[in-house]
Amino acid sequence: MEKERIFLEQSGGGVTFSGGEPLRQAPFLMTLLEEFGARSLHRAVDTTGFAKSDILLEVAKRTDLFLYDLKMMDPRRHKQWTGVDNGRILENLQLLARTGAHINIRIPLIKGVNDDDENISRTADFVAGLYGEKKKVTLLPYHNIAAGKYARLGEEYDPGDLAEPDESDISRVISLFSDFDVDAAVG
């Protein structure tokens, strides 16, 4: 990273830890965060928030920015689509906000899965109620780019129930967030 310092300083960039889930490698992650912090390099952690709260809070002491995924509010639907209940994820986001951490909430937006008015309104209400400064919300519209990759491998791609939101879907979602005084934009 030191070899790239000039580029990082000129671009305002830094180091982003993602995965998988970087919080599952907490000791290693914290060591790297401390080292990059000692070198004055910006540190971001891309997380689902599905971790023990004490680990998240320790990581927060060493992190400049969290890219925090928020998929859906209903715990039953969340478990159906991700395999886990979202209780811990929501609680951790509230805890993290109370630390004053800089958080960019990212929502992977999938037509017919989590783009319905009820889920978006509940999400916007939750985000609006988080402690501290208004949180930035970045919408990440689902795309089926994997179809091309599969085709190049000579394999068939089955997206199942996953569909790309169109421009009107995205506009509607942004408008719903706006109703709760939350700024949302496509990232």
Q: What is the pLDDT of residues 63-77, one digit of tens each?
A: 999 999 999 999 999
Cβ 135 vs Cβ 100: under 8 Å: no
36-62 pLDDT tens trace? 999 999 999 999 999 999 999 999 999
Closest by alpha carbon to 46, among 28, 27, 70, 77? Answer: 70
What pLDDT does 135 receive? 92
> Residue length, the chain?
187
Domains of the chain, with CATH numbers?
A: 2-186 (3.20.20.70)
pTM for this one?
0.90
CA 20 to CA 9: how far, in whole Å? 27
Give every residue of the chain whose pLDDT is below 70, as ranges.
none
- Sequence-distant (≥ 6) Cβ neighbours of residue 121 within 8 angstroms: 176, 179, 180
Q: What angle in degrees, to the nearest 10, is found between the helix axes of 53-60 and 87-98?
A: 30
Q: Dihedral sign for Cα 99, 181, 17, 48, please.
A: positive
